[in-house]
């Protein structure tokens, strides 16, 4: 399916595409052997693969940015292992580049900026990674608001298509006074569950697994027995089958209370989600909708 979507970007003449998924444009990775990136170049697109190339891209020219073979690594990992991921621009940087590219278009534009990996971290019940992904997206909202102030006939909509994980902050401690302290511990988490899995995929370093797992739970009241149980469960899982984020998230559930965060599921959830708007046309967006966004947004535009 993803290969087909990559082709549709060109068929539909989308002006700017920036993100991961380079393997779906690579003839060596596609089932049909098509060099989709070359086809974009033939049609006049600038194809960039690093942050520096994105910065240098000619303005006003269609742009294809392919910065990673798979999903863009989580921001928590790009920040803490910057030497490994220094060539990958963050989401606000991609948004700034896209806005610079479309500035010459006087007839208006539609741009979608998606913090897609919040959903992946929700499936994994990876609380620290969820928080860092949200904070990165929050910087994009600030950029949108700044653009709208300079171009007042712009409509900015911030929304999501569904919840994931049933993520909740729970009151901790007597009279819930320990809640803020618990949540702040998330900032000390050094990497995502995904990074842990990629590092220890072959289970060849039990001592390293223990050290990295313990680093994911920098909180009081975590006993050695709890850590040892999580390590044993992780090793047993690795011996039987590949370890996915969701499976590791289940193993790590025993530590969530120390962060003041709890989850109801590892699936999508049905709670109400935010739909906010500001700028020109915002009055057409308001109230509650039953999955009617597909109608509401075109009406506002």
Domains of the chain: 2-165+269-300 (3.40.720.10), 168-262 (no CATH)
**Residue that the structure tokens 């729970």 belong to:** 170
Tokens of 88: 């990958």
pLDDT at residue 298, as a whole number: 61
Instruction: Tell me how far CA of residue 194 lies from CA of 109, 157, 240, 260, in angstroms.
Output: 35, 30, 18, 21
pLDDT at residue 196, as a whole number: 93
Instruction: Tell me how far CA of residue 111 lies from CA of 60, 114, 132, 220, 275, in angstroms.
Output: 15, 10, 23, 44, 17
pLDDT per residue of the chain (301 residues) written in tens, 0 to 9: 899 999 999 999 999 999 999 999 999 999 999 999 999 999 999 999 999 999 999 988 999 999 999 999 999 999 999 889 999 999 999 999 999 998 766 688 999 999 999 999 999 999 999 999 999 999 999 999 999 999 999 999 998 888 999 999 989 888 999 899 999 999 999 999 999 999 998 778 889 999 999 999 977 878 889 999 999 999 888 877 777 788 888 999 889 888 999 999 999 998 888 889 999 989 887 777 776 555 555 665 5
Tell me how far apart the 2 most distant CA atoms of the chain are, in Å: 65
Note the Cα 52 to chain centre separation in Å.
21
pTM: 0.92
Which of these, 123, 144, 131, 139, lies nearest to 91 by C-alpha position?
139
Q: In a 3-state reduction of DSSP, which class is residue 48?
A: strand
């Amino acid at each position: 399916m993803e290969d087909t979507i990559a082709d549709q970007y060109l068929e539909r003449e989308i002006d700017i595409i920036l993100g991961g998924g380079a393997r779906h444009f690579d003839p060596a990775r596609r089932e049909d052997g098509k060099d989709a990136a070359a086809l974009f170049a033939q049609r006049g697109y600038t194809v960039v693969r690093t942050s520096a190339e994105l910065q240098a891209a000619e303005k006003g020219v269609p742009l294809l940015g392919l910065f990673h073979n798979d999903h863009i690594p989580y921001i928590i990992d790009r920040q803490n292992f910057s030497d490994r991921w220094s060539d990958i621009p963050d989401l606000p940087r991609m948004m700034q580049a896209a806005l610079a590219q479309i500035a010459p278009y006087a007839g208006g534009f539609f741009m979608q900026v998606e913090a897609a990996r919040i959903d992946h971290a929700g499936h994994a019940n990876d609380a620290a990674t969820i928080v860092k992904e949200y904070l990165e997206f929050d910087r994009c909202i600030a950029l949108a608001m700044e653009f709208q102030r300079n171009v007042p006939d712009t409509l900015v909509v911030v929304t999501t298509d569904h919840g994931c994980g049933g993520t909740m902050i729970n009151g901790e401690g007597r009279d819930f006074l320990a809640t803020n302290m618990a949540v702040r511990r998330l900032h000390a988490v050094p990497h995502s569950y995904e990074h842990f899995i990629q590092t220890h995929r072959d289970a060849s370093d039990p001592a390293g697994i223990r050290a990295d797992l313990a680093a994911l739970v920098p909180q009081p009241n975590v006993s050695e027995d709890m850590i040892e149980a999580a390590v044993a469960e992780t090793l047993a899982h690795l011996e039987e089958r590949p370890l996915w984020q969701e499976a590791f998230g289940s193993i790590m559930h025993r530590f969530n209370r120390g962060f003041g965060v709890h989850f109801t599921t590892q699936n999508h959830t049905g709670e109400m989600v935010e739909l906010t708007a500001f700028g020109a046309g915002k009055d057409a967006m308001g109230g509650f909708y039953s999955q009617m966004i597909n109608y509401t947004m075109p009406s506002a535009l």
